[in-house]
Chain A
Amino acid sequence: MEESKTPLLDELEKGDWPSFVTEIKRAAKKNKGAAGLLSQLESSYKEKIGHWKHGGIVGVKGYGGGVVGRYCDDPEKYPDIREFHTVRVCQPAGFFYTTKKLRQLADIWDKYGSGLYNMHGSTGDIILLGTTTPNLQPCVDELAEIGFDLGGSGGALRSLSCCVGQARCEKACIDSMDIVRELTQQYQAEIHRPAWPYKFKIKSSGCPNDCAAASARSDLAVIGVWRDTIRIDNSAVRKEVDGGYDIFNRVVRRCPSEALTWDQKKRELTVSAEDCVHCMHCINMMPDAISIGRERGATLLIGGKATVVKGSMIGWILVPFIKMDPPYSELKDLFYKMTEWWAENAKNRERIGELIDRLGYSTFLDAIGLKPLPQMVRAPRSNPYIFWKKEEVK
């Protein structure tokens, strides 16, 4: 029997979880690049080091980004992945597909690339993994013919993403898929032609459960919320309690603002609307009995990002409540104001959250014309070092 050339990676074909190694091997049967990737990856596993290097800039006509150059560091040894570029393809909002569209995509990528994909990349794009420089343009041209356009890269607006929203969730307070669709169409230039100090991400979640991780993973998060009161169907509540559901310990006691009361005699659940912080706990626990309110809109948060450079940030409340009716003009207007201020003031590779940290939230609010609100802070400042404007002193 022939000895395996990838003994280390073979270990990752064992076990219950679906194996990415099996997928690379499937692609490697048809594509030399995928085979090259497999061999190089085995080396990485042996040597505990990556073998991709910073490469030259690659591109396609009409776009400043969307394709990312990738070169192996030993082209003599792995000539088939000398060039192995990434093509970022913008996904349909909510990651819904027809199999017809998926098959068309696979046919094109088999023709021009490795036949390997990330479904999906961290930002949301379909990531086509690995092709050569000459194949980029024809690949992107044919993708356009079946209706797929490129996503963002570099100092640009990155492809937007969202949760499943109103397509299949009773908790969605906003149409997160339509918002992402509308903004994506509006900001095509910002996505495709990098003109900013660094990346900018927008994500939208339908409710405060934030399945799109918008507050942590996007510079501008659009998270659905309601501002009237939750709706309680007490007949449904009673049905669950009759079935043995421990409503007091599982729901009432865990309400973070003590807004719920369960009257054991009347067998009635009530909410003190002014105390409710719209956190989702009771709705998550009793989806048949408790639902979101009717006056719906979004909370906007600004500044969310991962670690590099100045540390991780979770977005800060920018607008506690904004109505979200198409075409979302108020949001679009705010977006232009904030990115203009950021582009003008930021250093290279400085995200908007880091810039706000450096220059001050009040300065930012001033620049984009928003008034300070108590919802923006955990608590007011505890130090007396206040900056006064000229017109505020004699």
Chain B
Amino acid sequence: MAKNDFGPPDFREMLPPVIKKNYGNWKSHDIPRPGVLKHTSYTGDVIHSVRVASPRLVSSDWIREISDVADKYCDGYVRFTTRNNLEFLVSDEKKLQPLINELDAKDYMIGGVGLSISNVVHTQGWIHCKSAVTDASGITKGVMDKMADYFTGKKSVPARLRIAVACCVNMCGACHCSDIAIVGIHRTIPKINDEAVARSCELPNVVASCPTGAIRPNPKTKSISIVAEKCMMCGNCVVVCPSLKIMDPENDGVSIWVGGKVSNARSGPAFSRLAIPYIPNEPPRWSTVTAAVNNLVEVWAANAKSGERMGEWINRIGWERFFKLTNLPFTDKHIDDFTHATTTFRSTTQSKF
């Protein structure tokens, strides 16, 4: 008899003894070198964590390889971070430098701690998703190749910078609160194959799925029609009725958003805001996207005060200066016209010229 509903492995069985012993009793931490965290407990115990970059999409070979390393230096304990990095947990300080040496020798990239650009949180993309407008892994690879020195600490940044990539507006990667977000978008409305829609979709559900009321039943074709001016290309109807086709390689692409954060430090969590409405898909390396991200990072790094996140910097200097400094055009696309749009319009006479 198969067992069901027993839940994931208990984390308590996965913890190194020093963590078990000092659970809830950590006193402080510091960063002895880029990519390495040293946590100290009230008991005086210490654990080092060595953080390395992961491509997130990994093979069994990779899993066995990191396991070999962890067996050698970490008594067989590893963890992953919420941003898809891998952490080697070193209980015996004598093994720290030999571990770093081996990781260096094997070309693992150590970094992503403290004032750095950490790993990208991203979605599935063309690799395995039906609604992907772009390939999140490819963009991530292109961007992080460029950002590598900010990950390893060779180049410094004024504050943390979090990048996320989502391959459609479903935003499984929850881009909406990232310092820099890259989001796949459509620019043309779904194409309707009347015969297929009539055969395979429940029309009332399709009509109800549209958040703007752009979809109407079409009694003639026993299908639906879409009011183009009302459609905002969210793709919700396509999920409900796969016979609607929204993919359009010529017009699909990505948008870039800035200034979001989730931390409550200083200011509260904030949404990312539109910086660049559209860049075409440019596989394999998305060079325009990569250059745009690099520009945003460099302008921010050169102008922000120490400790200022992207959004905090923009709030201080104002959007008019942000667009000027980054040399990005401000267009009609940047003015919100969705729900609560008016809350984003400015009423104060305080402008920068």
Q: Are B2 and A62 in contact, with the CB atoms below 8 A?
A: yes
* Partner pick for B55 among A19, A95, A177, A307, CB 8 A cutoff: A19
With a cutoff of 8 Å between Cβ atoms, the chain B residues found around residue A117 in the complex are: 57-60, 63
Q: Could you tell me the distance in whole angstroms from the C-beta of B74 to the nearest C-beta in chain A?
A: 8
Known: A149-B7, A308-B170, A310-B339. A95 touches B81 (CB 8 A): yes
Q: Is the CB of A306 within 8 A of B176?
A: yes
Give the residues from 16 to 52 in chain A that come closer than 8 angstroms, CB to CB, to chain B. 16-24, 26-27, 30, 34, 37, 41, 44-52
Mask of A209-252 contacts with B, CB within 8 angstroms, 1/0? 11111111100000000000000000000000000000000100
Which residues from A are CB-within-8-Å of B142? 12, 15
Q: Interface readout for B58-81 with A: 1 if CB under 8 Å, 0 if not?
A: 111111101110110000111111
The reply to whether B10 and A61 form a contact with Cβ atoms under 8 Å apart is no
User: Which residue of A has the minimal Cβ distance to B149?
Assistant: A16
Once the chains are docked, how many angstroms separate the CA of A39 from the CA of B24?
48
Q: Is B283 an interface residue (CB 8 A)?
A: yes
- Shortest distance from the beta carbon of A246 to any chain B beta carbon, whole Å: 9
Give A81 Cβ to nearest chain B Cβ, in Å.
10
Q: Is B265 an interface residue (CB 8 A)?
A: yes
B330: Cβ under 8 A from any A Cβ: no
Binds A, one of B203-211, B220-228, B317-325: B203-211
| Residue B132 is within 8 A (CB to CB) of chain A in the complex | yes
**Shortest Cβ distance from B124 into chain A, in angstroms?**
8
A52 touches B129 (CB 8 A): yes
- A363 neighbours in B (Cβ, 8 Å): none
**Contact B266–A281 (Cβ < 8 Å):** yes
Contacting residues, chain B, for A302 (C-beta < 8 A) = none
Contact with B along A182-193 (1 / 0, CB 8 A): 001100110010
Instruction: Identify A119's interface contact among B10, B23, B28, B80, CB under 8 A.
Output: B80
Contact B234 A307 (CB under 8 A): yes
Question: Whole-angstrom distance between the alpha carbons of A141 and B2 in the complex?
Answer: 7
Inside 8 A of B26's CB, which chain A residues have their CB? 166, 168-170
Q: Tell me how far the C-beta of A390 lies from the nearest C-beta in chain B, rounded to whole angstroms.
A: 30
The answer for the CA separation of A177 and B82 in the assembled complex, in Å, is 13
**Which residues of B sit under 8 angstroms from A177, Cβ to Cβ?**
11
Chain A residues, Cβ within 8 Å of B145: 14-17
Given contacts A216-B269, A279-B266, A308-B169, contact A170 B39 (CB under 8 A): yes
Q: Check A44–B126 contact: CB distance below 8 A.
A: yes
Task: Report if B328 contacts A (CB, 8 A).
Answer: no
**Contact among A188, A211, A281, A306 with B82 in the assembled complex (CB-CB below 8 Å):** A211
Residue of A nearest to B74 (CB): A99
Select the stretch in A103-111, A261-269, A320-328 that faces chain B.
A103-111
- In the assembled complex, which residues on chain A have CB atoms less than 8 Å from the CB atom of B15? 96, 167
B264 touches A209 (CB 8 A): yes
Whole-angstrom CA separation of A62 from B4 in the bound complex: 7
The docked-state distance in angstroms from the alpha carbon of A311 to that of B129 is 21
Q: Contacts of B219 on A, CB cut-off 8 Å?
A: none
Q: Is A374 in contact with chain B by the CB < 8 A criterion?
A: no
A256 at the interface (CB under 8 A from B): yes
Tell me the bound Cα distance from A115 to B59 in angstroms: 6
Q: In this complex, which of B7, B13, B70 has the most chain A Cβ atoms within 10 angstroms of its Cβ?
A: B7
Chain B residues in 8 Å Cβ range of A93: 8, 11
0 or 1 for each of B139-159: is its CB under 8 Å from A? (1 = yes): 011101100100100000000
Give A167-209 as 1s and 0s: 1 = Cβ < 8 Å from B's Cβ atoms: 1111010010100010011001100100000000000000011
B174 touches A189 (CB 8 A): no
Please name the residue on chain B nearest to A22 by beta carbon.
B55
Complex partner residue of A306 from B130, B141, B174, B306, CB under 8 angstroms = B174
Are B172 and A122 in contact (CB-based, < 8 A)?
yes
- Taking CB as reference atom, which chain B residue is nearest A144? B3
Expressed in whole angstroms, the minimum distance between the Cβ of B337 and any Cβ of chain A is 12
Whether A70 is near chain B, meaning CB under 8 Å from some CB there, is: yes
Contact indicator A288/B64 (Cβ below 8 Å): no
| CA gap between A52 and B126 in the complex, in Å | 8
Q: Which of A84-92, A336-344, A364-372 contacts B (4 or more CB under 8 A)?
A: A84-92
CB pair A306 B6 closer than 8 Å = no
Q: What's the Cα separation between A326 and B308 when bound, in Å?
A: 38
A101, CB-defined interface residue at 8 Å? yes
- Contact across chains for B53 and A213 when beta carbons are under 8 A apart: no
CA distance A312 to B169 in the complex (A): 10
Given contacts A148-B8, A209-B264, contact A99 B78 (CB under 8 A): yes
A21 to chain B, nearest CB (A): 8
Decide yes or no whether A53 CB sits under 8 A from chain B.
Answer: yes
Q: Are B177 and A45 in contact (CB under 8 A)?
A: no
Once A308-B171, A314-B269 are accepted as A-B contacts, the answer to whether A91 and B8 lie under 8 Å apart by CB is yes
Q: From residue A368, how far is it (CB to closest CB) to chain B in Å?
A: 23
Would you call A23 and B4 a contact (CB within 8 A)? no
Assess the B209–A216 pair: CB atoms within 8 A.
no
Contact call B209/A12, Cβ cutoff below 8 A: no
Q: Return B146 CB to nearest CB of chain A, in Å.
A: 8
The 8 Å CB contact of B177, one of A166, A208, A314, is: A314
Minimum CB distance partner of A280 in chain B: B265
Contacts of A383 in B (CB 8 A): none
Bound-state Cα–Cα, A188 to B148, Å: 41
Contact (Cβ within 8 A) B28 A181: no
Question: Known contacts A8-B284, A306-B175; is A147 also within 8 Å of B9 by CB?
Answer: yes
* Best-surrounded residue of A61, A91, A189, A254 (most CB of chain B within 10 A): A254
Per-residue contact bits, chain B 247-266, to A (CB 8 Å; 1 contact, 0 not): 10100100000001011111
Q: How far is the CA of A106 from the CA of B171 in the complex (A)?
A: 29
A260 within 8 A of B: no
A168, B130: Cβ atoms under 8 Å?
Answer: no
Q: In this assembly, does A129 line the interface, its C-beta being within 8 Å of a C-beta of chain B?
A: yes
Contact mask for chain B residues 162-173; partner A; CB cutoff 8 A; 1 contact, 0 none: 000010011111
Given A95-B81, A106-B64, A215-B269, do A312 and B171 touch, yes or no (CB 8 Å)?
yes
**A163 an interface residue at 8 Å Cβ cutoff?**
yes
B47 at the binding interface (Cβ < 8 Å): yes
Q: List 13 A-B contacts (CB under 8 A).
A: A17-B53, A50-B130, A90-B7, A94-B79, A95-B80, A101-B9, A129-B57, A129-B127, A185-B7, A192-B5, A213-B174, A213-B177, A306-B166
Given contact pairs A98-B76, A118-B57, A349-B236, a sample of 17 additional A-B residue pairs in the complex whose CB atoms are under 8 Å apart = A17-B53, A24-B59, A27-B59, A37-B128, A41-B127, A41-B135, A47-B249, A53-B130, A84-B128, A99-B67, A100-B76, A109-B60, A117-B63, A141-B2, A147-B8, A172-B24, A306-B166
The residues of B with any CB-CB pair to A shorter than 8 Å are 2-11, 13-15, 19, 23-24, 26-30, 39, 47, 49, 53-64, 66-68, 70-71, 76-82, 84, 86, 108-109, 121, 123-132, 135, 137-138, 140-142, 144-145, 148, 151, 166, 169-177, 205, 208-209, 211, 234-236, 239-240, 242, 247, 249, 252, 260, 262-267, 269-271, 281, 283-285, 306-307, 338-340
